[in-house]
Every structure is written in C-alpha cells, then in structure tokens.
Structure 1
C-alpha cells in the first residue's frame, strides 16, 4: 500500500482500539443484531468439521467463534487490526469453552499466512473499510486452498439503512461535515449493485453470487439507541464532538422525533439492508 493508505490503516487501528470498550459493553446486543449476516456467511461456506478457516476483520470474534463450534476437529484463525477488539473475542471464547481458535492482529492487505492455507474465509462487514479493497480480496484469494470458499457481507445503500441514516442524517442537518473523498472507506462504499461480486471476480474468484439480507435494529428505547450509537459508532462520535451542548440536544431531540415517525407502533426498530457475496477459488 502507498503511504496515504497506510495512514488510513493506522487511523483505523487507533479508532477500533479506542472503541473496543464500547463494543465490549454492547457485544450481546450487537451480535444478536448482526447474527443473520453471520448465519448466512456460515450457510454459504458449508463448514466441515476439519476445516481450517480464516475470519477477517472479526472484531469481537464473530462469525469466527460460531464457525469454530462447527469446525470442531479443525481450527479458526480470527484476525482484526485492533488488539483491543480481539481481547473481547478471547474472553468470549473462554466463556463459551471454545479452544480450537487463535487470534492474530494483522492487516488484511498483508495477511501473514502462506499461499493455499485455508479451506474457507469469512468477512463480516470489513470490505467497506479496507483502504485497498482489491488488494484485500486478492490476499484472501491467495491464502485459500484451491476450491476454497469465501463469504463476505457489506452494508447496502443509505435508503435501506435507517439505523445509521436516522442519526447521521440529523447530524448533517445541524453541522457542516466535510464530504469524504470519493472512494474513501465508509459505511456505504460497497453498496452499488453488484459491487462486491465484481470485486471478487476481479480478484480471481469463480462461482460468485450474492444475496440480500434485511432486518431491523431493535433497541429497547430511543435512549438506548442514542447511547448505543454514541458508544460504538465512530462517525457519530466524531461528528457530535463538533457540537456544543445546545446543538447536541437539538440533534438528540430530532433523532427521537424521526424514530417516532418511522416507528408508528411505538417501537424503536430501524431497518437495515445488507449484501452477502460468495466466491470460490
């Protein structure tokens, strides 16, 4: 990677380590919310008991730990940029009695594994943030054995993802946020029709296909939603750090009003839309 992309990587590492405490606090809630995408990844990978599996950008350990329970005579290598996130994964593994795994803090663009090592690779919500997505896809292809399988999920477009646009859209109306550079890492970077499948094809994958997974982020209350987004969502925290107390309160009030508009039944259930893509080496 060039110097600019390496700088982005180091900034991301610092951010994820900074927010690892929030992810630990909200882990049960977050993993329940994201479980359908993990289950779809696992379904497509068709994990066998003896598989050696690589879980890339695993954060606090999923779907890698669930895969380890299926590959009971195999092993899962769980990777992430942030050691703070992997520490949560190790604690979860200990709580669940999972031992056929290891954690490795590393960059997907420089995977520290030989060619043709793994039977399968999983990646849940990593691609959008990789500084060089094409290089990341090629690295995943490189470390797979011939015939090895890859499954990865990314977020769909803004219109499908009220769970984040409800708060970020409100913030943008109150604050002058700089527009990110074209193609910069971000939530909706892979949202274009067929984007991820084409990326995998260009990296050398065959038998590529995709599926949409939709659902809702269901918080116990509007206040719980606000707290969650302020403790795990780095873009929200970065934006709100520019607001004074009065502006922050206006944003909070408007976010709550927007939730009420979208949830006429009185719930706090905000839509999400994702894409899961599959490919084979």
Structure 2
C-alpha cells in the first residue's frame, strides 16, 4: 500500500500513460496500476475515470509526436473494425474512446461526405489534437468530436448505423451498462465492433517494459477484476457479456498487429516521451539508476531486433468482437 494519496495518484497516472504509449489506444499497464479496491476500499469508478482523463491529457503531446509511427501499426485494426461493423457510404457511426481521432478518421473516409462520424473521448487534450488532424485532412464536415464518458454519455436511441471502439471497452468499469446504452443507440440490425488486447504473453510490446519497470520499482500488481487491457482477453467471456445484453450474431476472432521502431534506443525514446509520468514515478531514484532501468528495457528489446537492420519488431495479438442489434 502506498504512503499518500499524491503517491497513489502519481502512480495511477503514470501507469495509465504507460498504458497509452502504444494506444494503440488504451494499453496494458492499467493492469498493474494500484487497484482502487484496496487503495480506497470499494471501487470508486469516478476516481478511476478522473485518473484516466488526467492520464490521457498528460499523454497528448507524446501521442501527437508519435502518432504516425503508431498508426502504421494500428491501421490494420481500424480497417478490420470498419469491415466487421459493415460500414457503408452515408452511414452515421459512433467511435467510442477515439483518442486523437482513430478509427474516426478511417471511418470518415469510408462514409464519405454523405455520412457522419460522432467520436467521443474523456480527454480534452486528446480531442484538441483530433480536431486539428480532422481539419488538416479536410474531414471537419464529417467528424464531430465530443468530450464524454462512454458509460454516461447521452446517446440518442436508434441513431447510429454502427458503433466501433479500438482498445477502449476493456477500461470501462461498468461494461454491461455501457453495452446496453450502445445497443439502444444502434438502428435495428446495426452492428458494433471492438478491438481489445489478448493475454499479456501475446502482447510483448507491452509485456517487455512492464516486467522490467515493475520489477525494478517494486510495484505490486492489483487484485483480479480491476478494469484493464486484458480484462476481455477471454473470447468466451467476451461473447457471454455481449450475449447477456441482447446482442445477436456475436463473433470473435484474433489477428496480429506488428509494431516496429528503428532501434532499441528509439523504442526506449518512444516509451519515455509518451509515458512521461512513468519517468516522474522514478524521479526519486538517482539519475544513474533511472538510466540503468531504461538501459535494461533497451537491452531486453534486442531480443526482437532484426539482425539485418537493427529495427525492433513486436508481433502483438488483438481480439475482435462484433455483433448485431
């Protein structure tokens, strides 16, 4: 148990942002953040969401710097979500947890000028960047960005032809209630499609720094049941949750997403710039000790290096779920 609320909050935010560093949109280190169950007694969903919001706001600039690198990897996920939700030209689509605008941008290109994309996210800073991107791409007439909580956002009934979420659903404290609201917001026979992470061992881009950072800082894991990236890694459980909320034609599948950086050193640079609060979490350590930890991350990543050009390549497993109202 941590010594103060400040320390608790700092660690939560740090791990939220480390979770974010590959988005790849809501990543893995949520699982290792101190559970609000034992920090504060009963789970406090509002405190959890507040930490999320603060974490994404703090990650925005790092995400802006690296988004092209990330999207080179994650575009395959956005494309598959469009296919699974059967989005067509002229559709009205909802993007849950859009971050800086994905898969909203991909969807906007699919629905065209006759369609509409409503994209929501908790983070003000992330949405500001999303709006900038949409403006640069000439998509402001198609995408409408709104700040909101996926669990409490007021969704008009039978408004959307499709709903998508890329790495967002597994962080919702009350997923069944959120799915109920989403189902009601779909038109009859409208489809929902979401991407979530597989088990930790199948997501090495996250597992590698996780194991090192947690070991070197002595950070304990949370108890089971904490919302996090692997909370929906069981396909059977995923189908069960959707089925309990009345969805039909529920399908799951897995695929891979490759993440590549030019070198182990660039990989560490990427982690450090997009997960700055993690660096802050280690601020009490001597500089030499901090560098030692980062060097260990770089050295461990060499296992995934291409002997030809030295680039670091991670193959990560993604689980997709789709269903019909």
**How would you bin the TM-score normalised by the shorter chain?**
over 0.9
Does the 8 Å contact 1:197/1:278 carry over to 2? Answer: no
The partner residue of 2:59 within 2, 10, 19 is: 19
- Match for 1:156 among 194, 198, 202? 198
Corresponding residue for residue 207 of structure 2: 165
How far 1:233 sits from its partner (Å)?
A: 4.1
Structure-2-length-normalised TM-score: 0.81
1:86 to 127, 145, 148: 127
Are 2:234 and 1:192 aligned? yes
The CA deviation string for residues 51-92 of structure 1, in whole angstroms up to 9 with x for no partner, is: 110000010111111111111211000110111111111111
**1:115 corresponds to:** 157
Corresponding residue to 1:33 among 53, 73, 87: 73
User: Which range moves more in the overlay, 214-223 or 255-264?
Assistant: 255-264
Which residue is equivalent to 2:26?
A: none
The alpha carbon displacement at 1:198 in A equals: 2.2
Counterpart residue number, 2:315 = 271
Listed as ranges, the matches of 1:1-281 within 5 Å are: 4-72=44-112, 73-98=114-139, 99-233=141-275, 236-237=278-279, 240-241=282-283, 243-263=285-305, 265=307, 266-281=310-325
Displacement of 1:207: 0.3
* The 10-residue stretch of structure 1 (248-257 or 28-37) with the greater mean CA deviation from structure 2: 248-257
Q: Is the 8 A contact 2:90 2:111 kept in 1?
A: yes
- CA separation in 2, counterparts of 1:241 and 1:131? 30
Q: Distance in 2 between matches of 1:237 and 1:39?
A: 34
Q: What does the per-residue CA deviation read over 1:98-127, in whole Å, with 9 as the maximum and x for residues that have no partner? A: 121101101111122221111100100001
1:133-168: per-residue Cα shift (whole Å, max 9, x none)? 222222211211111100000011111111011111
**Residue 237 (structure 1) shift:** 4.6
TM superposition shift of 1:279:
0.6
Deviation of 1:241 (Å): 4.6
Structure 1 unmatched runs, 5+: none
What secondary structure does 1:109 align onto? Answer: coil
Q: How many Å separate the matches in 1 of 2:137 and 2:318?
A: 28
Tell me the distance in 2 between the aligned counterparts of 1:264 and 1:66: 30
- The answer (yes or no) to whether the contact 1:153–1:276 under 8 Å persists in 2 is yes
1:202: how far off? 1.8
Number of residue-to-residue matches in the alignment: 280
For the Cα contact (< 8 Å) 2:155–2:182, is it kept in 1? no
